[in-house]
Amino acid sequence: MNITQHVATLGQSLWLDNLSRSLLHDGTLARLVAEDGISGVTSNPSIFQKALASSPYYADDLMRLKASEPDAERRYEALVIPDIQAACDLLRPTHEASGGNDGYVSLEVAPRWAYDSTRTVEEAQRLSAAVNRRNLLVKVPGTPEGVSAFETLTMLGINVNVTLLFSVAQTEAIFHAFIRGLNARIQADADVRHSKAVASLFLSRVDTLVDSQLTAIGTQAALSLRGKAAVAMARLAYQRYLGIFHGEAFAALAQQGATPQYLLWASTGVKNPDYRDLLYVEPLIGAETINTLPDKTLAALRDHGDPTPRVEEGVAEAEAQLAELARLGIDMDAVGNTLQDDGVKLFEASFQKLLQQTG
């Protein structure tokens, strides 16, 4: 058993934060599943934008689509949905072996609908039907409108990866939306045993923004907190997860066969070269969590990772660190809202590049 496979024995799933036709055609993804225990895949507009720019396997299909499909967005979907389906099929044995708890592949609703709950619901239903795989998660942003859409989609039985979460408050709002959606589904006499959702909490971008604010403050107390905000936030989010999904709020749903909405650690590749390359991996290993890893971070974990369950360690220290950030004038809820809006803009920019590439 190698290091990455050992992580699974500690209750954490490792997903690959990458997907391209090259990974599928050359057998790389299959090897990662077989040899590293990768049990899921996440994608987003930035990932597909890079895939279409670098992989040689799209050219023939794109030429054919340019002659037959006038709409650029439909051409994009016709290119990437087969990749999503192939990844779902590759991970179907994992999905079945886990009883539907793992083995998922994520596909994102177009970012321009991030602030339109009605259209997000419609697009999520359309994409779910187009992919037609039980182990698909439709990605919906955790904006206020996305929260509403997520609740509706849960009620309708669409499985969702809620993305672009950057604070404990945003994450907790998503947890409660999941519970409301499941309760509404039960009220409609529908089965909740196959309902699945994850909450993707982004990490490295939080430290990037908070570190810049701490550097601007410049005191020793401020500088000593650099590189600590994201892990502290994640550990407190996990405590909220435990309190909600292993507490009274979820007890009745659990009796109906519902499963909790796992936290997924996203944006786990370090952006500051001074930080340890596994800063957003090793401290956050623990039961009922997922870490989605870029290729480079996965390679680092395989090479020199120390897989020990640590996500429940240092809770008091995390609380003290966030309290000190607040004392210094850094509002983590405001940080989260800024990063969420920025995240939508970044994904929309990548999506527009995608459409230009298929034009």
Beta strand segments in the chain, E: 12-16, 40-41, 104-108, 136-141, 160-165, 197-202, 262-266, 289-293
171: which 2 tokens? 């994450």
Instruction: Using alpha carbons, list the distances in angstroms from residue 242 to 92, 154, 181, 219, 321.
Output: 28, 20, 19, 35, 21
pLDDT tens figures, 250-309 = 999 999 999 999 999 999 999 999 999 999 999 999 999 999 999 999 999 999 999 999
CB contact at 8 A, 291 and 281: yes
Residues 94 and 33: beta-carbon distance below 8 Å = yes
> Residue 283 is encoded by which pair of tokens?
């401290």
Say whether 196 sits in a helix, a strand or coil.
coil
CA–CA separation, 84 and 136 (whole Å):
8
Where in the sequence numbering do the catalytic residues fall? 139
List alpha helices for 246-329, DSSP H: 248-255, 295-304, 315-327
State whether residue 264 is helix, strand or coil.
strand
Q: Tokens 């994450």 identify what position?
A: 171
267 backbone φψ class: left, alpha, beta (φ>0; ψ -120 to 50): left
In this structure, are residues 134 and 165 in contact, taking their beta carbons and an 8 Å threshold?
no
CA 93 → CA 83, 97, 109, 167, 300, distances in Å? 17, 6, 26, 34, 27
What is the identity of the amino acid at 121?
Answer: V
Decide the pairing of beta strands 104-108 and 262-266: unpaired
* Residue of 144, 204, 209 whose CA lies nearest to 344: 144
User: Dihedrals φ, ψ of 200, to 5°?
Assistant: -90, 105
Closest CA to 107 of 89, 130, 91: 130
Contact 228, 238 (CB under 8 A): no
pLDDT, tens digit, 9 for 90 and up, residues 306-320? 999 999 999 999 999
pLDDT of residue 1: 84
What would the two tokens of residue 63 be? 């030429």
Render 316-341 in DSSP notation, one character per residue: HHHHHHHHHHHHTT--HHHHHHHHHH
With tokens 């009796």, the residue in question is: 255
Q: What pLDDT score was predicted for residue 358?
A: 87
CATH homologous superfamily, domain 3-357? Aldolase class I (3.20.20.70)
pLDDT tens by residue, the chain, 359 residues? 899 999 999 999 999 999 999 999 999 999 999 999 999 999 999 999 999 999 999 999 999 999 999 999 999 999 999 999 999 999 999 999 999 999 999 999 999 999 999 999 999 999 999 999 999 999 999 999 999 999 999 999 999 999 999 999 999 999 999 999 999 999 999 999 999 999 999 999 999 999 999 999 999 999 999 999 999 999 999 999 999 999 999 999 999 999 999 999 999 999 999 999 999 999 999 999 999 999 999 999 999 999 999 999 999 999 999 999 999 999 999 999 999 999 999 999 999 998 998 88
Per residue in 202-226, pLDDT tens? 999 999 999 999 999 999 999 999 9
